[in-house]
């Protein structure tokens, strides 16, 4: 799901609205500093109506920038980023429509933005707008540890394969093994190429 939405003023880097739905992945103050530095590094980020995705290990940070307003979202890797980006653009447009005039003479009072959280809830369907169907990999047959001994499969791929029970998602497997999700996804692709797994809907 969309874990959090942040609305920032690009010129100052100040976060004026933050709305959390799932796990709070980034402190609003930290994201303010990070995006301010990013904008200072590349001025093109704060001009026009643009969207960007910054990939982190456990989540993606999606950004919509328009008229010196940044709307950012911390989203799960399984979310549909295209839907997220479209939604952020709509939130940005709405924020500018409601507050553009006030921002020109804004005195720093954050209470005026409090009701905008309800708008964010509507646009994001309470953070669930970009959720995709949840699937889990399931091993098609039995797997012998001998495949590792004979060099037919690496130990890392084998470790992932034995957890493919049709109940654990790729994220569950990554968490259980204590390895990055991107590594598990790579190994699952290898298992798909070997036609050893199928995907089961679990939601």
Print burial letters for 77-110: b (CB count within 10 Å at least 16), e (below 16): bbbebebbbbbbbbbbbbbbeebeeebeebeeee
Mean pLDDT value of segment 130-159? 89
**Distance between CA atoms of residues 104 and 20, nearest Å:** 27
pLDDT, residue 46, reads 46
Q: How many domains are there within the chain?
A: 2
Please check whether residues 50 and 85 belong to one and the same domain: yes
Residue 130 lies in a domain: no
Statement: residue 187 has pLDDT above 80:
yes
CATH number where 10 lies: 3.30.450.50
Query: Last residue of a domain, which of 96, 124, 152?
Result: 124
Task: Give the mean model confidence (pLDDT) for residues 21-48.
Answer: 64
Q: What's residue 42's pLDDT?
A: 47
Residue 168 lies inside a defined structural domain of this protein: yes
Two structure tokens written together for 169: 């998602």
Tell me, yes or no, whether 142 and 119 share the same domain: no
Over residues 187-195, the mean pLDDT reads 90
Tokens representing 42?
């590349």
Q: Smallest Cα–Cα separation from 92: which of 49, 130, 151?
A: 49
Give the strands of the sheet with 69-76, arranged side by side. 14-20, 2-9, 69-76, 59-66, 50-55
Domain containing 188 equals 135-201
In the three-class reduction of DSSP (H, G, I as helix; E, B as strand; rest coil), residue 173 is classed as: helix
Q: Find the mean pLDDT for residues 38-52.
A: 54
Q: What is the mean pLDDT of residues 148-157?
A: 94
Q: Are residues 51 and 9 located together in one domain of the fold?
A: yes
What pLDDT is recorded for position 69? 87
In a domain, 191, yes or no: yes
Q: Give per-residue pLDDT as tens, 5-25.
A: 999 887 777 889 999 987 666
Same-domain check for residues 103 and 153: no
Instruction: Confirm if 28 and 6 have CB atoms less than 8 A apart.
Output: yes
Lowest mean pLDDT across 49-53, 86-90, 156-160? 49-53
* CATH number reported for the structural domain that contains residue 145 in this entry: 1.10.10
pTM: 0.62
Q: What is the DSSP letter of 62?
A: E
Among the three residues 97, 124, 151, which one is the final residue of a domain in this structure?
124
Q: Are residues 73 and 169 in the same domain?
A: no
Tell me, yes or no, whether 178 and 117 share the same domain: no
């Amino acid at each position: 799901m969309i874990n959090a939405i942040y609305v920032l003023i690009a010129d100052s880097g100040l976060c004026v609205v933050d709305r959390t739905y799932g796990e709070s992945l980034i402190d609003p103050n930290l994201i303010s500093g990070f995006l301010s530095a990013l904008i200072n590094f590349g001025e093109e980020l704060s001009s026009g109506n643009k969207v960007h995705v910054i990939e982190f290990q456990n989540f993606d940070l999606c950004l919509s920038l328009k008229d010196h307003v940044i709307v950012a979202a911390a989203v799960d890797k399984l979310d549909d980023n295209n839907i997220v980006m479209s939604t952020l653009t709509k939130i940005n447009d709405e924020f500018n429509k409601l507050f553009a005039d006030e921002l020109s003479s804004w005195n720093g009072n954050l209470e005026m933005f409090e009701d905008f959280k309800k708008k964010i809830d509507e646009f994001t369907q309470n953070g669930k707008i970009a959720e995709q169907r949840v699937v889990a990999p399931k091993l098609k047959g039995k797997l012998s540890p001998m495949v590792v001994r004979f060099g037919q499969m690496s130990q890392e791929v084998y470790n992932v394969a034995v957890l493919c029970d049709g109940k654990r998602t790729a994220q569950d497997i990554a968490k259980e093994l204590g390895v990055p999700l991107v590594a598990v996804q790579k190994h699952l692709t290898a298992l798909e190429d070997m036609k050893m797994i199928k995907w089961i809907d679990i939601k």
